[in-house]
Amino acid sequence: MTPRHVVLVPGLWMPAAAMALLSLRLQRHGHVVHVFAYHGRAPHDANVEALARFSRGKTGFVGHSLGGLLVLDMLNRYPEIAADAVVLVGAPVRGCQAALSTKGAAG
């Protein structure tokens, strides 16, 4: 089996280290894990663009909370990123005031 490259995207205000346990579990199952760290105060669009650059060549995605929204927006805006597995955990896909505030944040 070819290992899947999985991108983990933590929620707003969560350090990348918060994904450590999940990362270890995925690695034990043969996946190659990449944790995307982003700045919660950066504009949402800038984080989506950075995630798209980071994600080239990777096919699995797990996004927690706002990280899930970043994954969802990235996949909608960049259809050339071919995801074969996506998991959104607690992502406010129907709206969230914190997410809306990052969309208007200055860079």
pLDDT at 35: 96
DSSP 37-93: P--TTS-HHHHHHHHHHHHTT--EEEEETHHHHHHHHHHHH-TTS--SEEEEES--T
**Per-residue pLDDT tens digits for 28-87:** 999 999 999 999 889 999 999 999 999 999 999 999 999 999 999 999 999 999 899 999
pLDDT at 14: 86
Q: Look at residue 19 and tell me whether its pLDDT is greater than 90.
A: yes
Which contacts of 53-57 are long-range, i.e. CB under 8 A and separated by 24 or more positions?
54/7, 55/7, 55/81, 56/81, 57/5
Residue 106 pLDDT level (bands cut at 50, 70, 90): very low
CB 9, CB 62: distance < 8 Å? yes
Residue 101 pLDDT level (bands cut at 50, 70, 90): low
Please state the pTM of the whole predicted model. 0.85
